[in-house]
Amino acid sequence: MMKRMFAIGFILMVFVSFLAFAQEKVLHWNLGIDPGTIDPSYATSIAAQQIDHALFLGLTEIDDETLKVVPRLATSWEASDNGITWTFHLRREAMWSDGTPVTAHDITFAIQRTLDPEGSSPLVQRLYVLKGAQRYHTGVGRARDIGVRAIDNYTVRFTLNKKDDCLPALVLEPVFYPQPRSIVEDYGIDWTKPKHIVTDGAYVLEQWVKDHIILYKSTTYYDAGKVNIDEVYCYMIADTSAALTMYEQGKLDVVRIARSDIAQVKANTTLSKELYIAPSETLRIGDDCAISVTYTYPLAELTKPYVTRTHAALGREKWEKWDIHR
């Protein structure tokens, strides 16, 4: 049976996990807000990025224990001597949920789509690290001059404006995720609706209605054998007090709580035993890159860290590896 747990997460929030029945493999998670769009080119809210991390594969991720950048969709990568050109090699077993392979071309398409001058992505500046990205987005350059190339189906190469040792950490952001070109082109802004979307991550989007989202374990995920949670129910309850009450009633398994409620939690004999405050540490990548990391502790295997570079925050929840039988 899973241990109940509280953890203070990013900004003024607390994450709480739950007492699950051993026969269940369902997680009930309160996002706190409607994620808005989950299109990786437009996903700006923490809630949207949490959903995207479950649905899609980034090239890299942060290891919970070592706080090092490790492979995810990419199996390995290397930089040129001057640190401007980076080459990532993709795992060949990665598949979209419709059975088609994930390729380097899906990454180049996604980046070009995000930077489209006729688009309105609020995330374009995160791609300005790439050579020619800003010129293309502002209408004075060409798509073919953007510093991203599919060398072959399983090799993608990035060319930067200048040396940046942070790139392996930057590419874990949604704007660097591959996107299924045929689906996006067929359905346009509706491509992320449950009836259209295909994903390459641990989960697929089963349902999205007014007050909740349902994710199912993906059968095509390359590492599906290690996915312990079969279903994730994501709710949008903004009232943190109401969410905590539902947690105490066993109706929610993960909730966010304002820091102002910490005293109340500490005063509760039961809940105080489940409170974990996430410390902040600094992740160093190369000589010129330092990233502030806040992660859930000590049950690091349950929750992915939050990674903050300047003011850009990523919420990473490692739902798929929660051990519900503990």
- pLDDT-derived band at 266, boundaries 50, 70, 90: confident
Judged on CB neighbours under 10 Å (0-12, 13-18, 19+), 115 is buried
Q: What is the mean pLDDT of the chain?
A: 79
Q: Which residues contact 75 (CB under 8 A, 6 or more apart)?
A: 89, 90, 91
Query: Which pLDDT belongs to residue 257?
Result: 67
**What is the pLDDT averaged over residues 191-216?**
96
Model confidence at 302: pLDDT above 50: no
Q: Supply 29's token pair.
A: 């998670």
Q: pLDDT at position 89, please? A: 99
Among residues 170, 178, 187, 142, the alpha carbon closest in space to that of 41 is found at 178
Residue of higher predicted confidence among 152 and 49 = 152
Residues forming beta bridges with residue 161, ordered by sequence position: none
Q: Return the higher-pLDDT residue of 324 and 67.
A: 67
Residue 26 CB coordination number (10 Å): 14
Instruction: Give the up-direction half-sphere exposure of residue 160: CA atoms within 13 A in the CB hemisphere.
Output: 20
Give the sheet arrangement for strand 26-30, strand by strand. 26-30, 231-235, 212-217, 203-208
How many angstroms separate the Cα of 256 from the Cα of each of 14, 17, 242, 271, 278? Answer: 5, 10, 11, 14, 14
Q: What is the pLDDT of residue 272?
A: 66
pLDDT band at 210 (very low <50, low <70, confident <90, very high): confident
SS3 263: helix
pTM of the model: 0.81
Cβ 19 vs Cβ 318: under 8 Å: no
What's the mean pLDDT in 182-207? 97
Q: Which domains does the chain have, with CATH numbers?
A: 5-321 (3.40.190.10)
